[in-house]
Structure 1
Amino acid sequence: MTVDDRGRGYKEAVPSSSPRRITLEEVAKVAGVSRATASRVVNGVPSVDETIREAVQRAIADTGYLPNLAARSLVTRRADAVALVLPEEDRMLGDPFFGRVVRGVMTVIGRSGVHLVLMTTGATTRSQVVSDLRRGRLDGVILIHTDPFDPLPRLLVESRFPVVLSSRPTQPLPITYVDVNQTEGAALAARHLRALGRHHVATIAGPQHTSAGQDRLTGFRDALADPEMAWVEGDFTRESGTAGMAALLSRHPLLDGVFAASDLMAQGALAVLRARGRRVPRDVAVVGFDDSSAALACEPPLTTVRQPVEDMAAEMARLLLRQIGNPETPTSTAIFEPTLILRDST
């Protein structure tokens, strides 16, 4: 307690004990690079060598460095925010695919100092995305499974905004996209069922207005080389797998092999087979597509075509950041290879 000249007591101010702010110079020293190089990494310059970038990012994590985003935005003229536009909320919450996409995107975006804004499709979202890009509130967009009739991809391309699509566009469009080799994945399923000696094989295809639905049906049909192959169309949901399997069994009671173009549809198909007394895999072998958590939740566990969703999503994020860093970056395509994961359903 201190006494003033009138005899009144008061407490002296105690110096703040808040932690000292780590400087960019300290990050550079820990990473073993110059301050200029560290600054280029923090500001997302795409031309930095990947080994150096990783060293600086480790130094940032180790030191707890927090960039001054306001100052950085003044220098880069960027919002340091990108949008990940997902399908309508009901579908997104029911399909494990989209959670894997978010995880994959965050492995890149999360360490870049850029904010990720999650949005769902719709007319309101479309106008908001365009408005935010024009006003400088967003730097770019990752579009997941966009409806082929949605004008947003073409609008973004024509406006020269940075954008990456999650699959091959159904209509010709000069847009960067990332996809799995869909036709080869479906062909893996067809060849596997044939190798098992299954002769009455059918497929529950994906929606034919999407590139994934079209390519998986084409790949399966071509590899099977059976002009009489039976198929029904689903929409990648469990419910459509249930309806599709019931329809196939009513038309083709001797069915002994099924390829469902998504794990969720396969899950629905397995429930119908079980209810009809058809043993899996003894009576009917079943193959899915995705290798999502739904494949392991199936009874029996599902043989499926794996697409590396997390790796694909991370590549989408990298390609978008590259466009943002260099608006003259040409459009590109990244195609990942699928693998067949064998489990108890075949």
Structure 2
Amino acid sequence: MTTTPRRTPTLEDLAARAGVSRATASRVLRGQTNVSDEAREAVLAAAEELSYTPNQAARSLVTGRSNSLAFCVDESQERMFSDPFFFGMLRGAQGVVAGAGQQLVFTVTSREEEHRRFLAYAAAGHVDGVLLLSLHGRDRLPQELEAIGVPTVLSGRPLTGASLYYVDADNVGGGRLATEHLRRAGRRVVAHVAGPLDMCAGQDRLAGYREALGEDFEPELVESADWTVAGGEAATAELLRRRPDLDAVFAGSDLEALGVIRALEHAGRRVGTGADEVAVVGFDDVQAADQQRVPLTTVRQPIADLGATMTSRLLERLAGEDPPRSTVLPVELVVRRTA
């Protein structure tokens, strides 16, 4: 005995079941607002009854949209897969993308040839918009994407001065919070292991540190690193060579802070809040910060919310809305045992 395969319901079937026109059913499925509440409820109920799933391939042919967004990280694969910051951002972005019924395409573009390939991929219509993370220097990739008609939202303030859409944490405020906390604790020689100074986060956290110190700022107490544990360790070794009297360190990231602690311990210095210990503050509040032998005091930025907000801004642009070009989310100090 053979059975006839069940026919996949069409948009016409859905409209007939809901008692509305094909055009009205289509508007409901696209999330448009020019539909009555009664019609919307009828269409959604009918879609559930029929187990209706829109034909994305057909929709793409009609709308010229791929229904895909790119999550593009301008870093090496090694850095991308070793830094929990990016996974937090990805988690936040994916939640919004999935809720919108779209797909997220992940790519890493750290070299010029990778930039060119990604531009060609985007220009061919494979993605409708781009979430762009971790730009260095005056990289013009976002301007090139916008020039070919691919809306883009950046993670972090652009250094080019261009009028681009971006979402950022209050890095200046965070740097100030960390440094003021150390000064209030009586620390007199506060060093800073900065992030890369060709990135907005590195520059802005350093700016907050300088603001908090005012006239007490000393350039020799700043050493730049690359957001990594190894970078933080090497920078701290150099700072100790220059200023063995330092009694506090504000690190530009939690991974750098772990390297700071490693270097201090290697030099025979203890980390903590005691008068004979070196206080350390990080930035990010990744999961590892609270799992150390001495839990790390840090500045928490809302990593998942940053990814979600970037994605919402991009979807707003794709819907023809005009969201704010800059969105800055607040940070907070999380006091644990290193400072």
**Which category of TM-score, normalised to the shorter sequence, fits these structures?**
0.7 to 0.9
Shift of 1:124: 3.4
TM value normalised by structure 1: 0.84
Partner of 1:209: helix, strand, or coil? coil
Whichever of the two has the greater Rg, that structure is 1
Aligned partners of 2:123 and 2:148 also within 8 Å: no
> For the residues of structure 2 that align with 1:176 and 1:304, how far apart are their CA atoms?
28
Q: Give 2:332's aligned residue.
A: 339
Quote the residue 1:3 is aligned against. Answer: none
Q: Which residue of 1 aligns with 2:312?
A: 318
Matched residues, percent identical? 40
- Match in the other structure for 2:80: 92
2:308 aligned counterpart, secondary structure: helix
Residue deviations 1:200-246, cap 9 Å, x none? 11110111111111110011111122133611111111111000111
When residues 83 and 24 of structure 1 are mapped into structure 2, their CA distance, relative to the original with a 3 A threshold, is: farther
Paired with 1:172 and 1:203, the residues of 2 have a C-alpha distance of 26
Letter in 1 for 2:209: F
Asked whether 1:43 is paired with 2:30, we answer yes
- For residue 304 of structure 1, the aligned residue among 291, 298, 308 is 298
**Partners of 1:80 and 1:22 in 2: how far apart?**
19
| Aligned counterparts of 2:89 and 2:34: Cα–Cα separation in 1 | 26
Q: CA deviation at 1:137?
A: 1.6
Contact 1:157/1:175, CA 8 A, preserved across alignment: no
CA shift for structure 1 position 309: 1.0
Give the letter for the 1:288 counterpart: G
Q: Which stretches in structure 2 are left out of the alignment for 5+ residues? A: none
Deviation of the 1:123 alpha carbon: 2.6
**Contact 2:313/2:323, CA 8 A, preserved across alignment:** no
Mark the CA change 1:35 to 1:266 in structure 2 (over 3 Å): closer, same or farther. Answer: farther
CA RMSD of aligned residues (A): 3.2
Which deviates the most, 332-341 or 73-82? 73-82
Letter in 1 for 2:247: D
In the other structure, the counterpart of 1:123 is 112
1:293 to partner: Cα distance:
1.9
Q: Which runs of 4+ in 1 moved over 3 A?
A: 18-27, 33-42, 58-65, 328-331
One-letter code of the match for 1:333?
A: S
- Report if aligned partners of 2:11, 2:25 keep a CA contact under 8 Å in 1: no
Structure 1 unmatched runs, 5+: 1-11
| Whole-Å separation in 1 of the counterparts to 2:281 and 2:60 | 49
Aligned residue for 1:239? Answer: 230
C-alpha distance in 2, partners of 1:141/1:298? 36
- Give yes or no for contact 1:140–1:161 (8 Å, CA) kept in 2: yes
Q: Distance in 2 between matches of 1:323 and 1:34?
A: 28
